[in-house]
Every structure is written in structure tokens, then in C-alpha cells.
């Protein structure tokens, strides 16, 4: 926070003015980064997980260790580790943690998906993308639909 204030005060000294909008956006971006870091740590916390989990085909899937996942959240992009299971019958992989967090086969958190739905219901994709960037500091691209 002290580094952030130093940047603001240096800018004010140089220009003689305080650009309130620039300060607002700088503070918001800094708080989002801090929040995203905290969220990454929270989501990556290891909890006891079973060696097997039920697959969607109804058979048993084996734990194949931890695997990373990246998603876009209301706080920014985060990466977290979670257990990954593989079914020897249907050969499908899944993570019960993804299902729990409602991020199974998607690249966006539930909060971001809700924002996208609200913005997207009234405008084109390009305008909606601009609105999300301006209003929430969230970057959305057309190529980023799903991730595992």
C-alpha cells in the first residue's frame, strides 16, 4: 500500500494535480491483485481427498494427483491446484473440486459468468467485453471459452 501511495504522490508532485479517476483505477487494480492472490491460496489449500471418487459414468475414478486450473474471477485471473481423478472405464478425467466450485469445464467463476450474462443480455459481445473491462476490470476474450 505504501508503494501505491508513493506512486500517487509522485504523480501529484509532477503534475500539480490529483487525477482521481487514475487513482481509483490504480487502487481497484491493486486490491483485485491482492484479492486474487488470497483467492489462489484459499483454493489451493490441500484438504484430505479420497483415493477414489465416483465418475459421471457411475464407476470408480482413481486419484491421479494434483493438477492446476486457471479461471477468471471477479478479482482477476487465478490459478489453483486440485485433485484430478481418471476413470479407467470411460477414460474421462474430472475434479470433484471443480464441481464443488461450479467451474467444471469452464474458464470463468460463477460471479464472472453472472456479470457476463447481465452485460451480454443488453449488448454485443465487443461492447459487453468493453463494459466488463471498464466496470469490473475483467478481461474477456472470444477465444477463452473453456479450460480443464
Q: What is the pLDDT of residues 26-55, one digit of tens each?
A: 889 999 999 999 999 999 888 888 899 998
Range of lowest pLDDT (2-11, 82-91, 133-142)? 2-11
Q: Give the three cell numbers for residue 116.
A: 457476463
On whether the CB atoms of residues 108 and 71 are closer than 8 A, the answer is yes
Q: Give residue 15's pLDDT band: very low, low, confident or very high (50, 70, 90).
A: confident
Angle in degrees, 0-180, between the axes of helices 125-136 and 110-120, rounded to the nearest 10 = 130
Give the range with max mean pLDDT: 2-6, 70-74, 142-146.
Answer: 70-74
Question: Alpha-carbon distance 87 to 72, whole Å?
Answer: 28
What is the overall mean pLDDT for the chain?
Answer: 88
Tens of pLDDT along 112-146?
999 999 998 888 888 988 999 998 999 888 765 44
pLDDT at 48: 84
pLDDT at 14: 82
On whether the CB atoms of residues 121 and 94 are closer than 8 A, the answer is no
Tens of pLDDT along 53-68?
998 899 999 999 999 9
pLDDT at 103: 97
Query: Which of 37, 19, 3 lies closest to 11 in space, CA to CA?
Result: 19
| For the chain, domain boundaries | 1-148
Amino acid at each position: 500500500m505504501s508503494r501505491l501511495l508513493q506512486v500517487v504522490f509522485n504523480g501529484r508532485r509532477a503534475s500539480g494535480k490529483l487525477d482521481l479517476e487514475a487513482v481509483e483505477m490504480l487502487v481497484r487494480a491493486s486490491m483485485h491483485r491482492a484479492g486474487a492472490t488470497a483467492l489462489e491460496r484459499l483454493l489451493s489449500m490441500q484438504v484430505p481427498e479420497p483415493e477414489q471418487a465416483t465418475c459421471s459414468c457411475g464407476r470408480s475414478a482413481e486419484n491421479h494427483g494434483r493438477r492446476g486450473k486457471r479461471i477468471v474471477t471477479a478479482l482477476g485471473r487465478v490459478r489453483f491446484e486440485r485433485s484430478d481423478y481418471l476413470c479407467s472405464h470411460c477414460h474421462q478425467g474430472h475434479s470433484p473440486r471443480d464441481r464443488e466450485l461450479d467451474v467444471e469445464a469452464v474458464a470463468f467463476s460463477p460471479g464472472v459468468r453472472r456479470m457476463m450474462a447481465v452485460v451480454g443480455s443488453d449488448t454485443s459481445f465487443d461492447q459487453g467485453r468493453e463494459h466488463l473491462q471498464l466496470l469490473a476490470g475483467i478481461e474477456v476474450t472470444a477465444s477463452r471459452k473453456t479450460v480443464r
